[in-house]
Chains A and B, each alone.
Chain A
């Protein structure tokens, strides 16, 4: 089993615990944690700290009947929706974002495919499928990009990324990730900036189109 070398940056883990990450990043962080014991322990440590803050909060007086109301509701069965389950290479948070359906791949040319999971003012979330040796499509470098490998691998100037590894890139990083040999590289990619283009053009084609 491969080892994870690239983890969630600490401020993002704290923000995830506190629930302030944009949803598209939240899905990537939750997916990484599904694969990584170190970051799960980190998350649970932040939750412990959150609990310390909660316990130190000044108590507020409750309405007289709140306790009785809650105790009376203990017997009422409220079936919870079943927790999402992972399937194949997709951990539970990805399956939840896919609404438990298989990805709907759309070709971007040269064997590169994408399946958009979310696309809105808060950012975008998609799956990318890149054949070995091909370049990973760019988001257009606005804001922050998070890329998590679910199958295969990619490498760029900053290092090599295998299954479970997470790359967080800001505006300043000019990089050209290339999918590794072997299996096609499947990544979960999120950006908090609105997409520049409605159809993604693989980085390979960008010089042709001068974009």
Chain B
């Protein structure tokens, strides 16, 4: 039997400023103190990737930059909705980007789930944030290890190039542990979710 690990107080176990990824720290600075420098650094990291992502979806350079501009401004304006216990910065931006792309293509805007309000957003659980980052790290590795054709299918699916009939149930990505993690983040909001039924 393995010896018990030394007990550490939760608060000491994680020093958010040091252990969290740079993107999460920058996004929290934007959310909590409207930090422009942090926003500028997020721009430097995400805007070129976003442009590449949108152009892979078929947009030309000018259209892509228009979307990049809209998405980056949405990140600034809706920063209070960023919840690091449930989303990575990249996943949050992915969702905003797809919304913007879809709203530009379609006549009707995208149907969205009812938003969840959280009152304790300035008291995040650093352990939960870090755990979600670690799970996302594993997901990144898993994506890197897939066979090229399998990886391509996944990229096509998330770029919005496959219908639900074309997406196979088995994506080959370990999403189960991420779902469990996010569930914990949602539990935190349980008192806000009076209408929410437990499965």
Contacts and interface: CB of A to CB of B under 8 A. Distances in A.
Contacts of A58: 49, 52
Given A44-B87, A48-B136, A63-B65, 14 more contacts: A26-B111, A33-B113, A34-B114, A35-B196, A36-B199, A37-B196, A56-B140, A66-B65, A67-B44, A70-B69, A74-B36, A78-B73, A84-B112, A92-B114
B35 to A, nearest CB: 11
B164 A1 contact: no
B156 to A, nearest CB: 9
A211 to B, nearest CB: 27
Interface residues of A, number: 74
Contacts of B99: 19
| 5 tightest Cβ-Cβ pairs between the two chains A and B | A51-B90, A51-B91, A59-B48, A15-B164, A92-B114
Main secondary structure, interface of A, reads helix
Interface of B: 36, 39-40, 43-44, 47-53, 55-56, 61, 64-65, 68-69, 72-73, 76-78, 86-95, 97-99, 101-102, 106, 108, 110-115, 136, 139-140, 143, 154-155, 157-165, 167-169, 171, 173, 175, 178-180, 182-183, 186-187, 193, 195-199
A73 B53 contact: no
Given A19-B102, A19-B160, A23-B111, A52 B140 contact: yes
Given A15-B164, A33-B113, A96-B111, A51 B52 contact: no
A57 B91 CA distance: 13
A9 B36 CA distance: 41
Contact of B139 (A7, A21, A31, A49): A49
Contacts of B93: 51, 54
